Chain A
Amino acid sequence: MSDYNFAYLDEDTKRMIRRALLKAVAIPGYQVPFASREMPMPYGWGTGGVQVTAACLVPEDVLKVIDQGSDDTTNAVSIRKFFVKTSGVAVTETTTEATVIQTRHRIPEQALHEGQILVYQVPIPEPLRFLEPRETETRKMHELQEYGLMHVKLYEDIARHGTIATSYAYPVKVEGRYIMDPSPIPKFDNPKLGGNAALQLFGAGREQRIYAVPPYSDVVSLDFDDHPFVAGKAPHDCDLCGAADSYLDEVITDDQGTRMYVCSDTDFCATRRTAGHVGRLAAPYEVTP
C-alpha cells in the first residue's frame, strides 16, 4: 500500500509521538499530552494504542495483537490487518516470538522478555477521573501528589463492602510517585506490571495522553496494610488446558446456565494443549477431522 507512509502515520507525526514516548519513559506513570491524530478507526477502538504501535514499529518487528487476551477477537483481527496492510511487518500469535504486542484489557500469561514492547489501548488514562471529572483539577492533584481522595475511596469501599470494590483498571503507584491507571486489565494482571522485563507503553487517543512503565519498574497496587491487594480470578481451572493459574473467561454453554471456564489468553491455552495438557472438558473435543 504505497499511498500511505510505513505504518500509516507520516514521519512528523511519528516523531511527535516518539518525543511523547521518551518523555513518558523518563517520567514513569506521568501522563504526557500528545497531539493525537484522527485514525481510520473510531476513537474507542484503540486509536491511542495504534498510534503508539505505529510510532514504535520498524520493518524487522514481529507484531502480535490481542483483545481480551485473544488473537482472534474481531478488533484484534482488524488492527492486525491494518498493520499488515500499512507496514507489511510479520505478525504472530505466539507471545514469545513477538517484538511488539498491542493489547486491550489483558497482559499475556507468558512472562515477557527484554526487548519486547507491550502497547496498551487506554480508554480513560486518568485514574482520578471518576473521583474528580475536571482535568484541570486532576493534573494539579498529580503535581502535588495529592492522592488522599483515592485512598478515601478505597477506604469507603472497605467500610461499605468489606473489600475494595474495584475488579479491573485497579489503580497502581509507579516508582513511588505517580498513581496510574493500568487500563482496564483485570486486577489479576496487576502483579505483572511491576518488575516486568518488557517496556510497557500506554496510549489514549481520544484523551490525547501517553504514559509508560519502563522495564523492571516498581509498580504497586494500592492497598492498606490490613487489607492487602489480592489478585482475583474465577476459582476454577481451565476446562481446555487445565491451567490453574491463568485468567479465565466464563462461557455459558446451554440454556440451563451450565458454565465452563477457559483461558482468556488463547495463545497460552493453545501452547499448553499442544504440550499435552488436558482440561476437564477438553478430551472429548480433541478429535481432529
Chain B
Amino acid sequence: MYVAVKGGERAIEAAHAFLAEERRGDTSIAELSVAQIREQLKLAVNRVMAEGSLYDPDLAALAIKQARGDLIEAVFLIRAYRTTLPRFGASHPIETDDMAAIRRISATFKDIPGGQVLGPTFDYTHRLLDFKLAAEGDVPEAPQATPSGDALPHVTALLGQDGLIEASPDSGAEPPDLTRNPLELPAERALRLQALTRGDEGFILSLAYSTQRGYGRTHAFVGELRIGMVDVAFDMPELGLTISIGEVEVSECESVNQFKGSKTEPPQFTRGYGLVFGQSERKAISMSLVDRALRWQELGEDNSGAPAQDAEFVLWHADNVQATGFLEHIKLPHYVDFQAELELIRKLRREAGADTLQEAAE
C-alpha cells in the first residue's frame, strides 16, 4: 500500500534527539567542558576562529563541542552567529611589529635583530605516539626565559632598506569586505587576502603545495613567520581617544620570492603575505604562497594557467562553508528533476531503438 510520505516534522525532531544523544556519547564517560576544548584543543579552536572569521575562543570551543569535532560544521556555526552581530566600527590595523611573539623564525637569515624564537612548535618533535598521554600526565613546567624586550623588526623591512624587495606602501584605502558586499571580479589584493584567510585550510594548503610542484611556481622562502599577541586599538568617538579593546593572537607569514624582473618591474624580491587568527602557521605559510601566486598580473608575470594563479577559481572555491553546503545539498530530494531525466533517457532510448536491441539480445 502506498501513502504519500508524511511526517517529515516528527522525523526531523527524532533525528535531532538522536543527534544530541550521539553527540554526548557514553554518559558514563565525563563530559567535555568548553574550557577543556579551549585549552587543550587550541589549534582546532584557532582554525575555527580563522575560518569562522570571529575571534572568540570560548564560542569556537562551544561550536566544536556542538559540532562533535567536525571543524567545518563548527566554522559554519560561528559564521551563522557572526553574521547576526552588530558592528560598532573598525579597529585600527593591528601592528605586528609590536607583537608579543611566542614564536618568530626566519628561514632566510641565520640571525636577525630580535633573534630567532622557536616557541611551541611540533617542528622537531619525533612523531612517536606518547602513550603516557593515554593515562593522565602532569606536564613538567617548561623552562622560562626573561623576554628580551628587543624590538622585532620585520625581515622584509630589513630587505627593504636596501631596496632588495618590492616596496609595499600603505595605500590608505579602506579595505573591502566580502562579508558585506558580493564578491565581484577582478578582486583587489586586500579582498583576495580576506578570502584566503577565511578559506579552507586544506584547500589553501593544496593550492600552495601545487605552486611548489611547478603549477605557478613562486620560488618562495619563509622570510619570516611570527606568532603572538597583538593589541587591537579602537577609536572611541565619545571619548575622543584611542584605546586598546583587547588583544588577539595571530600568525603572520611573509614569504620572500625570487623575481628576475618583468617588463614593468626591476629584478627584486617580491612578497607574499599570510595573516591568520591564532597559532595557524600551516595556513599562514600556505596563504602567503597563494597570495604571491595570485599577484602574477600586477607584477607583469606570465599566466602559466596554474590553478593557484586563477583568482576566479581560487576565490570562488576557497570557502568551505559554501563548498560543503553545495556539495552536500545533492543528498536533498531531487526526484522531480530525476523524473524529468528518466523520461528523457526513456525517450532517447526509444528513439535509438535500445529497447528492441535489448529484447533481441535476450
Contacts and interface: CB of A to CB of B under 8 A. Distances in A.
Given A43-B326, A44-B326, A77 B339 contact: no
B305 to A, nearest CB: 13
A188 B3 CA distance: 24
Interface stretch (A159-167, A171-179, A221-229): A159-167
A186 interface: yes
A167 B222 CA distance: 53
A39 B80 contact: yes
Interface string A204-244: 00101000000000000000000000001110000010000
A75 interface: yes
Interface in B134-162: none
Contact of B321 (A43, A185, A232, A281): A43
A216 to B, nearest CB: 26
Nearest to B186: A136
Nearest to B177: A35
Given A37-B83, A73-B5, A77-B8, A42 B325 contact: yes
A249 B335 contact: yes
Contact of A34 (B79, B82, B182, B347): B182
A252 B271 CA distance: 61
Interface in B172-187: 179-186
Nearest to A78: B12
Contacts of A269: 4
Contacts of B342: 234, 250
A38 B325 CA distance: 11
A44 B183 contact: no
B326 A123 contact: yes
Contacts of B183: 208
Contacts of B327: 44
Contacts of B186: 136
A40 interface: yes
Interface string A246-275: 011111010000001010101001000000
Interface of A: 4, 10, 33-40, 42-45, 47, 67-70, 72-78, 81, 105-106, 123, 134-136, 161-163, 165, 167-169, 184-188, 206, 208, 232-234, 240, 247-251, 253, 260, 262, 264, 266, 269, 281, 285
